[in-house]
């Protein structure tokens, strides 16, 4: 299946203009956080979503969807491969999370439009990108610098573990994104709890398939 990357890039540029990385929700108004995880089986994409209480990190709800993979993986275009499944799963939730944690970059992307930013703009929700690797740029004193601009932060969540890279997706600042991720770490888990629970749930679904 041929993918028109020029067309996708144009969409990313358009979305990038709509991204807002200021805090549009107060910390005290965040009651529920959702984490998402995607997994693949043949030509199917499985998306797991888990909604947690933002204070106790107890699981409130779990939902998953199984759909056809829309396109092959191309670096920089993850949003178009995994975004539709994540949005479909979000719409299946009964509880409304104030913040979504996404296993992908936010503005720490060549065109400022990583998976978390794409989803944030499309859903008009506060989103945080959490990644294990950087896509572009370099890390200086714990800050992820892309084109002379700080677009992410390195967060070490567990001793002797490789860091995570956190970036704002939409409707939230980098500072609050990092604060929320740090607050969501429950040792000995490396990932923030919403993403840890979503990953665990996705593995369970794959095993059942």
* Sign of the alpha-carbon torsion through 27, 29, 31, 37: negative
pLDDT of residue 160: 87
Domain 5-208 listed as CATH 2.40.160.20: no
Do 19 and 170 touch, CB atoms closer than 8 A? yes
Do 21 and 168 touch, CB atoms closer than 8 A? yes
pLDDT of residue 82: 98
Q: Where are the domains of the chain?
A: 5-208
Q: Average model confidence (pLDDT) for the chain?
A: 96
pLDDT of residue 169: 98
Q: Which residue has the tokens 């992908």?
A: 104
Q: Is 161 exposed, middle or buried (0-12, 13-18, 19+ CB in 10 A)?
A: exposed
Do 50 and 90 touch, CB atoms closer than 8 A? no
Other CB atoms closer than 10 Å to residue 94's CB: what's the count?
Answer: 8
pLDDT of residue 1: 67
pLDDT of residue 106: 98
Tens-digit pLDDT string for the chain (209 aa)? 688 999 999 999 999 999 999 999 999 999 999 999 999 999 999 999 999 999 999 999 999 999 999 999 999 999 999 999 999 999 999 999 999 999 999 999 999 999 999 999 999 999 999 999 999 999 999 999 999 999 999 999 988 889 999 999 999 999 999 999 999 999 999 999 999 999 999 999 999 98
How big is the CA angle at 174 (ends 55 and 11), to the nearest 5 degrees? Answer: 115
pLDDT of residue 131: 97
pLDDT of residue 209: 84
pLDDT of residue 2: 81
Residues 86/57/196/178 CA torsion (nearest 10 deg): 80
pLDDT above 90 covers what percent of the chain?
Answer: 95
pLDDT of residue 153: 98
pLDDT of residue 158: 87
């Amino acid at each position: 299946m041929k993918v028109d990357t020029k067309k996708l890039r144009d969409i990313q540029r358009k979305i990038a203009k709509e991204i807002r990385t200021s805090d549009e929700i107060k910390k005290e108004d965040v009651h529920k956080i959702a984490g998402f995880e995607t997994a693949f089986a043949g030509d199917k994409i499985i998306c797991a979503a888990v909604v947690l209480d933002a204070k106790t990190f107890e699981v409130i709800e779990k939902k998953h969807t199984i759909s056809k993979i829309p396109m092959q993986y191309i670096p920089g275009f993850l949003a178009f491969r995994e975004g539709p499944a994540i949005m479909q799963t979000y719409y299946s939730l009964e509880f409304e999370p104030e913040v979504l944690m996404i296993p992908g970059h936010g503005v720490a992307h060549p065109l400022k439009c990583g998976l978390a930013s794409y989803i944030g703009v499309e859903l008009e929700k506060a989103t945080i990108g959490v990644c294990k690797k950087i896509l572009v740029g370099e890390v200086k004193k714990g800050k992820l610098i892309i084109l002379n601009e700080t677009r992410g932060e390195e967060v070490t969540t567990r001793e002797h573990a490789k860091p995570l890279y956190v970036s704002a997706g939409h409707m939230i600042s980098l500072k609050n994104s990092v604060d929320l991720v740090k607050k969501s770490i429950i040792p000995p888990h490396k990932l923030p709890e919403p993403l840890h629970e979503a990953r665990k749930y996705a593995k369970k679904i794959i095993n059942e398939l």
